[in-house]
Every structure is written in C-alpha cells, then in structure tokens.
Amino acid sequence: MRVAELRSLALLARAGFRRESTYLLAMMAGLFTNVVFGFIRASILLAAVDSAGGQLVGYTRDTISAYVWLSQGLIGAVMLTGTAEIGERVRTGEVAVDFLRPLDVQAAHLATDLGRAAFTLIPRGVPSVLVGAVTVGLVMPTSVQPYLLGAVSVLLGVSLSFLTRFAVNLAGFWIIETRGVTSLLAVVQGFLSGLYVPVHLFPGWLGALAAATPFPSILQAPIDVLSGRVTGADGLRVVAVQLVWVVAVAVVGQVLIRTGRRRLEVQGG
Amino acid sequence: MAEASRSEPGARLGRAAPYVVVARSRLRAQRSYGTSFAFDLVGSLMVGLTELGEVWVVFHNVTVLGGLDFSAVLLLFGLSNLGFSLGDMVFGHIDNIPGYIRTGTLEAFYLRPQPILAQLMVSDIQLRRLSRTGVAVAALVAGLVVNDIDWGLSTVVLLVLTAVSGVAIFGGLFVWAGALQFRLVNGAEVTNSFTYGGSYAASQPASIFPTALKVTFGYLVPVVFTAYLPTLRILDLPGPSLLPSWLAWLTPVAAVWVWGVAVLLWRDGLRHYQSGGG
C-alpha cells in the first residue's frame, strides 16, 4: 500500500515535470525577464554595497551578486505568485474528483508541483546564475557541502512555497473569489521572503516580523545555504527551521482540507 | 446597437458614448462585489507599500544611492509610480490578449465599429489599482515637501509635463506588450521585462545602471523620463554620463516615441491576428 502510494506520487511528479517541459518557449520568455530584473536588482544592490563602503551587512560585491542571481534562478521554482491550481479546482468543484482518488490531495498536488519546480531549474534556474556569473561576476562556494545541504534547502523551500500557496488557496472553500487573498499573499511573501532585498538588510523589527513567518524559509534560506553564507552548524539550523515550517504549514493545509471538504457542495454530476 | 446609441448617455456624449457606457459598467461591476473589491484595494495598497518599503530598506543601510538621498528618492518614487499606476490602470489589461484570444472575446471586439484598441482600453479599467496611485501621490507630496525645491513656473510646468507624459509612456508600453502578445502567445512573459521591469527601473536612480541599461531605459524604453530626469532637474542635480538632466524637458518627446512604436506594433499585431474560428 505505502509503496503503491509512493509510486503514484513519483508518477505525478514526473507528469508535473513533463507538463512544464512542453512550455519551453514560455520558459525562455521567463528566463529573459528574470535576467532583465536581475540586472536591475544587481545594479541597485551593488550600488548599495559601494555606498556602504564595500561591506553591507556581511555582503560584498561578489556575495550580493550571488544573492541576486541565485534568487533570480530560484524564482521560477519557488513560484511566489500566490496562485495554486487547487484554488481553481475548489472554485469549479473539480476538487471533488481529487477527493475520489486513493491519494492524499495535498501530497498529490505537492508531488506534481515538485516535478514542475524541478524542470524550471534547468532552463530558468541554472542559466540565470550563469548569466550573472558571466556579466556581473559572483562568488560561489568551492566545497561540496553547501551544494548538498543547498539541494535539501531548495527542496524544502519549494515544498514550503507550495504548501503555503495550497493552504491559502483553500480559503476558496469559505470565500468564492480567492484572487484578492492570493494576490495579497504574493505581495507579502515576495517582500518577506527576501525576493527584492535580502532579509538581512531589514531593520530589527521588520526582520523579527519576517522571521515570525514561513516566508524567509522559502527563498532567503536556500540562497543563504547555497551561497555559503551559512555553513556547518548554522547551515543545519537554517535547514531545521525550514523543516519545522514545512511540517507546520502542511498540518495547517491538512486541517483546512478536512474542514473544507465538509463545506463542499458540488452541483450535479 | 442602434437602440443603445440613442439611449440617454449616448445622446449627450456623442462619439465617446459607447466607451463611456462600457467604462461605467465596468467600474460599477467592480464596486458591486464589495468584499473582493476591498481585498483588491488592500492588495494594491500593499504592492505600493512594499515597493516603497524595498527602497526604504536599502536606505536604512546606506545614506546615498546613485547620487540621490532618501528625500530625493521619495520624489523619484512618487513620480514614477504615479505614471505607472495610472498607465497600468487604464492600459494594463491590454496585455491579456492571449486570454481574450483563447476565450474568443477578441472576436467580439472585431465585430464592433469602434477601434479595437479603444474598446480594449475601456473593457477592464482596474479601479483597484487606485490605492497604489494613492501611495505614489503620498510619496510625491512628501518628496515635494521635504526637498529644498526652488519653486517657480518652470518647476510646476515640468511636474505637470512629467505626470502626463509618465502616464502616456507607461500606457504606451502596455500597448507594446499587448501588440506583441499577438505574436508571442507562448512567450508572453518577455513583455513583463519592459512593463513591470520598466516600472522597476524607473523608480531607481539611473546613474547606478551599467551603460547597456542606461541606453535601454534611457532611449529605447525611455522610462528614465518618467521620473529620474525630472527629479534631477527639479532638485538641480547633474545627470550621469549619457543622461544629462536638461533631457527632462524632452519627456513629451519620449512619450511620442513610445506611442509611435505602439501604433506601429499594434497595427502589425492586428494584421497578424487570425481568428481561431468559431
């Protein structure tokens, strides 16, 4: 039974990967826009490092550049847009079909999203970092450990992003129109996850506010681990915090899907 | 159609009547879903506030960026966001053409005897973006108050020219984006680089950009005219290489350039479009 479930999830992940790979032109368009935004962001933050005398909250020109291009590379995978397919399926009632399947709804959607994210890293993620390396210049760790832990951290970040979007989209069980809530999520999440400015640059109170949310664990944490800003025990601690958030948000999603299911009314059929 | 144009509002408004009627109905429709509209307003307010927040976080760490201090950047931010939020409100939905093509809505626009661009403009004016305009106006007013400005007729004229041209420039860029959607149905995200990317670049001191970006956002997608150059002129600051501050007076020329390209691209897009049938 468990093995069968895992196999189904693996198949869903593969389906997510393949579905994404059919939109290659859209990927290229996304990469182009990622790179343009990367240039603008790099200009701002490099100017800030220069203005601060070459050192800004531990960032130098090379490391802030790594932050910019890693975040540009991860945007496609973590997808901070606030929307998730589940919201649309709740609205149209198609979610009823999901409930009929012998798989957990949340796990099934997560598997598909991980497949999608894995694909985006190839045509969008890696090239973004390469463009940054070639044009602006950046430093990446030379040892293996940050990359191994970084891979785990990216996986947790992508999962957390999905689980957060999933939970917020389930608001659709109670309010019909979720666009307002999801766009609000996208804005707040983008800011507090360190998408535009590293969370480390936030003043104390804003940093504390961000740390009280799962958002920095979505983007800032994987960047910190991958770029080698946090290593050793600190790196493990960052990943542990991510794991705690993943579990917490997953539990919230499970509770919402169970209570929401009782409110679901499907017309006809 | 004939009946509609003889109805009350039509009689008074002449040729603009159909647009006014559609725009009014769209605006009414948005207000009628109270909760959702309130959420949208809050969302749009948060977009404005977080963008201002990003700028503020940077200035929490440094005092000067690209030759401008925080008060100067308030003026820069206010001007660029005023132009963008109004341009986005009126024209922003035009780049949703792949959606209109998919649902067949575009066919309906072709059937009516009005220009398609004008119809599209009024088809979905987004009132929810007004709260973002509010943030822009607040930043602009703050910027005008906290800076030491030599007020005179030329300052006022430049501000008005900039505000009007800024809306035109960003609106025109959305028309570029919309026109290109006819060809880029699967690669539509490219256009975000000059609409949203343009807005992002416009709110930065352009002196920080490498030469390629200075040329791009100075002369090809001329968003530096919407805020950066006027800010330099108003605060009497020198411009960086390639972008002397007297260029601020040519802001209307930049708007004409954007609209010239917009009209060409739009005509080309319409010609390129072939209906999916139905």
pLDDT level of residue B3 (50, 70, 90 thresholds): very low
**Shortest CB distance from B213 goes to which of A28, A39, A203?**
A39
Q: What pTM, to 2 d.p., does this model score? A: 0.89
- For tokens 């319409």, what's the residue? B270
Contact A29 B188 (CB under 8 A): yes
B25-56 pLDDT, tens digit per residue, is: 777 777 666 676 777 788 889 989 999 999 99
Q: How far apart are CA A150 and CA A137, in angstroms?
A: 20
Type of residue numbered A86: I
Q: In chain B, what percentage of residues exceed pLDDT 90?
A: 58
pLDDT level of residue B6 (50, 70, 90 thresholds): very low
Contact A184 B42 (CB under 8 A): yes
CA A79 to chain centre: 5
Q: How far apart are CA A80 and CA B99, in angstroms?
A: 21
**A interface test, pick of B128, B181, B189, B203 with most A CB neighbours within 10 Å:** B189
Chain A residues inside the 8 Å CB shell of B188: 26, 29
B170-201 pLDDT, tens digit per residue, is: 999 999 999 998 888 777 789 999 999 999 99
Query: ipTM of the predicted structure?
Result: 0.87
Residues of A (153-192) whose Cβ lies below 8 Å from B: 175, 177, 179-181, 183-184, 187-188, 190-191
Contact A51 B64 (CB under 8 A): yes
Nearest of A153, A180, A45, A37 to residue B36 by alpha carbon: A180
Q: In chain B, what percentage of residues exceed pLDDT 70?
A: 91
Backbone angles phi, psi at B241, to 5 degrees: -60, 145
Q: How far apart are CA B163 and CA A117, in angstroms?
A: 41
Residue B200 neighbours by CB under 8 Å, 6+ apart: A37, A40
Extract the tokens encoding B113. Answer: 């005897």
B66-125 pLDDT, tens digit per residue, is: 999 999 999 999 999 999 999 998 898 887 887 777 777 777 777 777 777 887 877 777
Chain B residues inside the 8 Å CB shell of A187: 43, 46-47, 50
**B interface test, pick of A31, A51, A135 with most B CB neighbours within 10 Å:** A51
Type of residue numbered A100: L
User: Number of A:B CB contacts under 8 A?
Assistant: 110
Q: How far apart are CA B156 and CA B160, in angstroms?
A: 6
CA A93 to chain centre: 27
A54-103 pLDDT, tens digit per residue, is: 999 999 999 999 999 999 999 989 988 877 788 888 888 888 888 888 88
Average pLDDT, chain B: 87
Q: Mean pLDDT for each consecutive 10-residue tract of chain A (269 residues)?
A: 85 90 85 93 96 94 94 90 82 84 90 93 89 88 93 97 94 80 88 94 96 96 96 96 98 93 66
**Shortest CB distance from B50 goes to which of A39, A40, A191?**
A191
Nearest of A193, A192, A175 to residue A70 by alpha carbon: A193
Q: Environment class of residue A78 by beta-carbon count within 10 Å: exposed (0-12), middle (13-18) or buried (19+)? A: buried
Q: How far apart are CA B16 and CA B115, in angstroms?
A: 12
Residue of B nearest to A53 (CA): B62
3-state secondary structure of B88: helix
Alpha-helical runs (H) found in chain A: 2-21, 24-51, 61-78, 85-92, 95-100, 105-120, 126-135, 145-169, 179-192, 204-211, 220-226, 232-263
A26 at the B interface (CB within 8 A)?
Answer: yes
A33 at the B interface (CB within 8 A)?
Answer: yes
Q: How far apart are CA A235 and CA A149, in angstroms?
A: 8
pLDDT level of residue B249 (50, 70, 90 thresholds): very high
CA A122 to chain centre: 15
Residue of B nearest to A59 (CA): B61
Residue B44: the pLDDT is 86
A15 to chain B nearest CA, in Å? 20
B85-106 in b/e form (b: 16+ CB < 10 A) is bbbbbbbbbbbbbeebbeeeeb
Residue B33: the pLDDT is 66
Q: Name the region of A228 (left: φ>0; alpha: ψ -120 to 50; beta: rest).
A: left
- 8 Å CB contact between B55 and B181: no
A48 at the B interface (CB within 8 A)?
Answer: yes
A213 at the B interface (CB within 8 A)?
Answer: no
Within 10 angstroms of residue A246's Cβ, the number of other Cβ atoms is 20
Query: Which tops the pLDDT comparison, B10 or B188?
Result: B188
Chain B residues inside the 8 Å CB shell of A30: 189
Whether B204 has a pLDDT exceeding 60, the answer reads yes
Residue B101: the pLDDT is 76
Whether B4 has a pLDDT exceeding 60, the answer reads no
Residue A227 neighbours by CB under 8 Å, 6+ apart: A63, A66, A67, A70, A140, A141, A146
Q: How far apart are CA B106 and CA B104, in angstroms?
A: 5
Whether B1 has a pLDDT exceeding 50, the answer reads no
Extract the tokens encoding B125. Answer: 């004016």
